[in-house]
Amino acid sequence: MTSGFDQRFRLPARRAHVTDDFSIGVLAQRTGVTPNVLRTWENRFGFPTGRRTTSGHRRFTDADVLLVQEVLEARERGVPLNLAVDGVLQRSRQQHDESVHATLIREFPDLRPQRLAKATLLAASHAIEDECLARADRSVVLGTFQEGHVFARSRHRWDELARTATWSAVLADFDADLPADPQARPARCQLPADSPMRREWTVVTVSRGFAAVLAAWEVPAAAGGPATYEAVISMRRAAALTAARVVVATARAAGATPPESVDELLTAPITTETTVADTDRVLLRILEQVDSTPAWRRPAPVVE
């Protein structure tokens, strides 16, 4: 049952002709919200704004589709319309400076962060990546790596992930040894100097039948101490979609151009969830990765 949203104002979903700059009718077709309702939202909340042409017509982009979809998802969770719109507008203003981990904690407060050592986090990352490779189901695969040399050590894995993905992008502080290239495959996107993602470790994958996200930030440690991360790991589709939207928005700001199919995937209504069998398989992959790590390489337990 939809919470507080009258289905009479929703259009049947159908594919529209898409350009980089389109009318409110195309926005309605791509989001399933009628033009009259979109105009009502604009009059009441100043949303969606789009841009006004010299002839006085409103024009919209893929970014507006994502914002309307976020409002609808918040409404499905029971958030009042005015608060849903306000939250989406605030997030959109901050999105290029956003933290994936902070967004997930804010949007999904039931997710429990865990302090994990680097080796454990690497095992979890590889498990998600391996499941994505094994499925070969045209996923969107995204990652943040803090620094370019960290990505360079995993480049062979991500080249393979990108080979079968619908689209793949990695974000980091790249350098002359491996420069940013937002048109590469995977797209290598430079993080701004003040981006909170420079301290984050993220792996997120979304396809029609599977979704998973790992998002962590590096906890400040004593000089010479082992790296420790506060992480959330989830195979909840809504969480993975939220993380993917943050990463894609930052990649776009860095000059990347995801194909149209990426926006279609990230704005599609949630009709399925990752199955228990798929979740179990990822958990078993994590255990296998941890168990295969030599004892001498395993980190000492983290002491609070």
pLDDT digits (tens, 9 = 90+) for 40-61: 998 888 888 777 666 767 788 7
Domain boundaries, the chain: 7-96, 98-297
Residue 79 has a pLDDT of 87
Report CA-CA distances (Å) from 65 to 3, 226, 265, 266.
21, 43, 12, 10
- Which residue(s) pair with 167 in the sheet? 140
Residue 297: pLDDT band (50, 70, 90) is low
Contacts with 223 (C-beta within 8 Å, 6 or more apart), sequence order: none
First CA to last CA distance, the chain:
44
Nearest to 238 by CA among 66, 86, 73, 78: 73
Interhelix angle for 276-291 vs 118-135, to 10°?
130
> Do the Cβ atoms of 231 and 113 come closer than 8 Å?
yes
The CATH class, in words, for 7-96 is mainly alpha
Would you tell me how many other CB atoms lie within 10 Å of the CB of residue 116? 23
- The secondary element (H helix, E strand) that includes residue 114 is strand 114-117
pLDDT digits (tens, 9 = 90+) for 195-234: 889 899 999 999 988 999 999 998 887 777 778 899 999 9
Q: What percent of the chain has pLDDT over 70?
A: 85
What stretches of 164-241 adopt beta strand conformation (E)? 167-173, 187-190, 200-206, 211-219, 228-234
Is the bond preceding residue 226 a cis peptide, omega within 30 degrees? no
Average pLDDT over residues 107-116: 88
How far is Cα 33 from Cα 10, in angstroms, rounded to an integer? 5
How far is Cα 148 from Cα 155, in angstroms, rounded to an integer? 10
Q: What is the pTM of this model?
A: 0.67
Of the two residues 62 and 52, the one the predictor is more confident about is: 62
Amino acid, res. 195: S
Report CA-CA distances (Å) from 123 to 214, 284, 290.
11, 11, 6
Among 139-143, 165-169, 263-267, 297-301, the range scoring the smallest mean pLDDT is 297-301
